[in-house]
Structure 1
């Protein structure tokens, strides 16, 4: 009688531990989550410290990057909570907390990346408008609105978990990705067109310096867009397949989850490389 009352719990736990040991995707997922928490927390904290101590170009010009790094820390906390959620699946409070921070990961992070792209777009294509709204107070207003939107996304993610509407969550994820990608692609194409055009009266050194500034803005937007595609495209394709077929492709979803966790490291690494703190990434020389 005692065995019959105790064994179900032991069997269920051992089954999940067996899944963790022998399922390759689970092993990779646990490693990615652990790495994501440690590396993301360290790099984003370092970026915030550099900005606040004035090691970069100043707080006003890097205010969006500062907020993006704060989102990166929340992203790292999501990795930690998801790690514990997989280990202790019987605690609904962990799942609820992870779903809340998921809103920061799927909305806040790409939203601040979009703000950085729009800022670079205005600096190149509409410099007068950029100078008009360059003061810090306008960036604070934009970031406040962005955080309010992010908080709404966090609440929506929690709501979809509570009522178990996976279909609604899939639509929510897909629409956001397409919206953010459209904005970044527009900024990228607009800056590319401006790069190929010369303004009136541009000569010699002035033209070279302006073209260099445009190229830096273009590559920054391009790499941000590529980062967004790597982060969200596999998950979005998987969600669209689920919406159409009502069947979730587990392999694509697992690959997308890995990309989702790893691609979030690119913004802080690029910033650190630009300041000369990371010298081993030769692909980013175009930004310096």
Structure 2
């Protein structure tokens, strides 16, 4: 993201500041509220919502880093630029990874309940989450040292984002297919409210992930066709929807009317 003066902000930075501010001003309080409810709840709640807890922590970190990034837009401090690059990679990779993790968790619960009960133990989830955070940090460091716009930068991004997107797509479609089947003794046309709600949530999360990561996947192919700085736009789109998981948790907790 280029640094420039306030009088000569390019259109992509206006897009970054306006869209990102609207999303993070909504997401930060909602994520903090949901995070407080989980942490202050019973240990069983913390264990059952461990994935959501980590995702909310990452979302709050990204929101705070986002507002801090305004400093780097108007300053030319090299250290701040490196920190901003680390934040960008963390926000993109972290959100995609944890959302995929949540989707795989639901996939196991619906299609492989025996495996899910074994994996549900805190030691297995903790190990997976620790590996996830390590991967996020490594991707952040790689983004710091890999120059943007190079072939290697795009290859690394594609090698992570494409498998993540395909994994979530497979898990989501598998879950939806199972949930849409009528239960024993249930007529095909009978509506199951909980199943419909679950299907809608899964589809919404999948659409949000596609919206977040597809710009990065298409960016190498579009930059030669469109004479616009796409990196900043792609990073901005990756932050949209920061409050989705918080809203889903607050709805499950009965804190929202819907």
TM bracket, shorter-chain basis: 0.7 to 0.9
Higher deviation after alignment, 190-199 or 38-47:
190-199
Matches of 2:246 and 2:169, distance apart in 1: 21
Give matches, 1:1-288, under 5 Å. Answer: 16-20=5-9, 23-54=10-41, 58-88=45-75, 90-161=76-147, 166-197=150-181, 202-203=184-185, 215-242=196-223, 245=224, 249-250=227-228, 255-279=233-257
Q: Flag structure 2 segments of 5+ consecutive residues without an equivalent.
A: none
Q: C-alpha offsets along residues 204-251 of structure 1, whole Å, 9 cap, x if unaligned?
A: 6xxx99x66655544333222111111121232123334xx4x66426
Structure 1 residue 112 displacement after superposition? 0.9
Residues 153/40 of structure 1: CA separation in 2 closer, same or farther (3 Å cut): same
- Shift in Å, 1:81: 3.4
2: CA distance, partners of 1:249 / 1:78? 28
Larger relative contact order, structure 1 or 2 (CA cutoff 8 Å, min sep 6): 2
Q: How many residues align?
A: 254
List gaps (5 residues or longer) in structure 1. Answer: 1-12, 280-284
Give runs of ≥4 in structure 1 deviating > 6 Å.
none
TM-score by length of structure 1 reads 0.76
Alpha-carbon spacing, 1:151–1:25, altered in 2? closer, same or farther (3 Å)? closer
RMSD: 3.0
TM-score by length of 2: 0.84
Check 1:275–1:171 CA distance in 2 against 1; reply closer, same or farther (3 A cut).
same
